[in-house]
Amino acid sequence: MGLTGGIGAGKSTVAKTFIAQGAHHVDADAIAREVVEPGSPGLAALVDAFGPEILDADGALDRPALAARAFADEESTARLNAITHPLIGRRTQELIAAVPADAVLLHDVPLLVEGNMAPFYDAVIVVHTDADIRLDRLVNLRGMDREDARRRIDAQATDEQRRAVADIWLDNSGAPEELAEQALRVWNERLIPLRDNHTARTPAPLPTEPVEADPAWSVLGPRLVNRLWALLGDKAVRIAHVGPTADPGGPAVPVIDLEVTVADDAAAQAAAQLLHEAGFPSLSGETGRVHGAADPGRPARVYLRVDE
């Protein structure tokens, strides 16, 4: 699962709630700090690239000093990214590989939306708080300078961009206890069933009764198309949102139907197995051509077709 939200939104409350229930937490910010700790190859590489002036009196990274040099121009920023991104990526993969296969993995990524990472998760959880409330929290609770806090908020993804990728939207306009209660309900009603279905390679039950057309279908369809592209890559020729929810003319059964077109039978078999193991179990065995989503909160069906 991917967890994200704007600065000051309250992600830590949600993460703590999930961790208390047994989630395995992989924190992107913590990893970014770890790979440049004193004595690390990452910090040595930064000093080589930007000079000893980026160190404080204790030999640790002085982040404002680094920022002044690394974000001075595009070339310097690219140099910073070339050093840190591979280190962060390798350490992230090490931590993820150590998580048991039947666990709920929570990848906490503040810039998940900005990094276009949403398609790579079984589900994306967004913690939302209005920008003005976040600004007040950052200034009054964290002691940040108001203008600095505003710049950081404005530099991040918009609410609309986060909504476009959010499978689960948690509103944190109230007290922390209310957010924790929301998170616990999501854990019990969504994440655990998703985990169990994923582990057992079992599709979640699909609704059968039509409902009034929902504008959310036009957002969910492309989101799932992107998810399938992330899973299948060049094994697919085309992926499309099809069926009644793609162009509703009235009430429809609320199932997002997706059509994956592949080049031949061998590609269909390979794609079927990938889908079966990655959250879209087959309705008729590992190499079946019709799949359902393991996520009970996101009813979807995937049809595999061979290009003609």
Q: Which parts are annotated binding residues for ATP?
A: 8-13
Strand order in the sheet with 105-108: 24-27, 105-108, 2-5, 124-128, 168-171
Q: 280 near 292, Cβ under 8 Å? A: yes
Alpha-carbon distance 289 to 69, whole Å? Answer: 53
Q: 163 near 215, Cβ under 8 Å? A: no
Binding-site residue set: 8-13
- Name the strand (E) or helix (H) holding 241: strand 238-242
- Name the strand (E) or helix (H) holding 231: helix 217-232
On the CB side of 297, CA atoms within 13 Å amount to 19
Alpha-carbon distance 67 to 297, whole Å? Answer: 41
DSSP 288: -
Nearest partner of 111 among 256, 263, 223, 9, judged by Cα: 9
Q: Give me the numbers of helices (H) and strands (E) for the chain, helices first please.
A: 12, 9
